[in-house]
Amino acid sequence: MAQEDGKVSSYREYAEHILPRVKKAGYNVIQLMAIQEHAYYGSFGYHVTGFFGISSRSGTPDDFKFLVDKAHGMGIKIVIDLVHSHASNNVFDGINRFDGTDHSFSHGGARGYHSGWDSMLFDYSKYEVKRFLLSNLAWYLDEYHVDGFRFDAVTSILYNHHGIGFSFSGNYNEYFGMQTDLDGITYLMLANTLVKKLRPGAITIAEDVSGHPTLCRSIRDGGIGFDFRLGMFLPDMWVKLLKETPDENWNMGALVHAMTNRRWLEKVVAYAESHDQAIVGDKTQSMYLFDAEIYHGMDRRSQPSLTVSRGMALHKMIRLLTQSLGGEAYLNFMGNEFGHPEWIDFPREGNNNSYHYCRRQWSLLDN
């Protein structure tokens, strides 16, 4: 969904048309989502069916290697989304019930099922599960020369409750107790150790909503070994402000506190907007800021209105604050450095399988 045309674009098209834009904009790392094979496009790639397979809807393994090689030639690293927190519940082309039982890769019964995601949960205590997942990491490093991984849904791996119906207040009892999945933590430590051994300098990023202490401290220091955690509170905070609070009432002290409130010596990837906010059902920040004028009155030949001028100033301020105070790295999302105008949506039954929102409107930047 990175091209102007409404379609599933290919790895080669991305390499030819989008990589030069990323390079020109000054970025040095790209995080690619939905690379592992998955049956349902609308799942954002999170319901993986083929852990060692490259998503065939965008091309062949050689096509993906072409993309990685071209990025490396530009001095850009490629980090891929890695889903080791759960697997597709699909028994026909996934690993669920691989041997006919409900506990081949997962726990048996209800413990092996994530009710919120309708997916299979791994049993990290099993030797073969660890072999399977660790070899999966090695495969992408050795075969495709990726430069690291963004581990999806680490919260689900860390706790027996998987974060379902549980809100974290920051009390240490929430992190270290019977609800902690020690097997899951052991797996993550092994994973980080292996990645760094096979590819010194590789990047590992944890998507964790709980704020687990020591997640991004070295294993030698008693940590779990990730390089960065995602600052997941920040985009939620921005969209809540845009929805509920007039900007003249934004509390600068509270904003600065939110940006700087992070674990000591643990690095954070800050970001202002992501697919969690920009998917249909919500709005992009641009749609909140410019309202109906997003569709007219914003080209350079028009006299800008107060709404557009104010919206542009706020959009820049949101990114400036997030980039400067929010962490040790900054993540943009799908071209929103120029404020991608509309929400994002995959072709699905609910929109008559339309590709209209499955695209990025680069022409707005160009013209």
> Is it the case that residue 327 has pLDDT exceeding 90?
yes
Provide the pLDDT for residue 337: 66
Does one domain contain both 128 and 174? yes
> Is it the case that residue 241 has pLDDT exceeding 90?
yes
Does one domain contain both 226 and 237? no
Residues 6+ apart with CB under 8 A from 313: none
Q: What average pLDDT does the structure give for the chain?
A: 92
Provide the pLDDT for residue 357: 85
Provide the pLDDT for residue 304: 84
Planar angle of CA 113, 116, 119, nearest 5 degrees: 40
Number of domains, the chain:
2
Does one domain contain both 281 and 363? yes
Does one domain contain both 277 and 199? no
Provide the pLDDT for residue 335: 66
Catalytic residue among 37, 123, 181, 207: 207
State the DSSP code for 95: S
Does one domain contain both 141 and 36? yes
* Mean local confidence (pLDDT), 336-363: 81
Provide the pLDDT for residue 340: 65
Residue 167 pLDDT grade (very low, low, confident, very high; cuts 50, 70, 90): confident
Does one domain contain both 13 and 75? yes
Does one domain contain both 4 and 103? yes
Provide the pLDDT for residue 12: 98
Catalytic residue among 123, 152, 227, 345: 152
Does one domain contain both 214 and 241? no
Tell me if residue 293 is catalytic: no
* Predicted model pTM: 0.95
**Distances in Å between the alpha carbon of 343 and those of 105, 253, 352?**
36, 30, 16
- Top mean pLDDT of 88-92, 198-202, 308-312, 348-352 is at 198-202
Strand partners, 31: 79
Q: How far apart are CA 156 and CA 184, in angstroms?
A: 9
* Coil/strand/helix, residue 28: coil
Does one domain contain both 2 and 150? yes
Does one domain contain both 71 and 182? yes
Does one domain contain both 132 and 143? yes
Residues 6+ apart with CB under 8 A from 292: none
Tell me if residue 13 is catalytic: no
SS3 content of the chain, % helix, strand, coil (to 5): 40, 15, 45
* Mean local confidence (pLDDT), 232-257: 94
Tell whether 358 is covered by a domain: yes
| Tens of pLDDT, residues 174-203 | 998 899 999 999 999 999 999 999 999 999
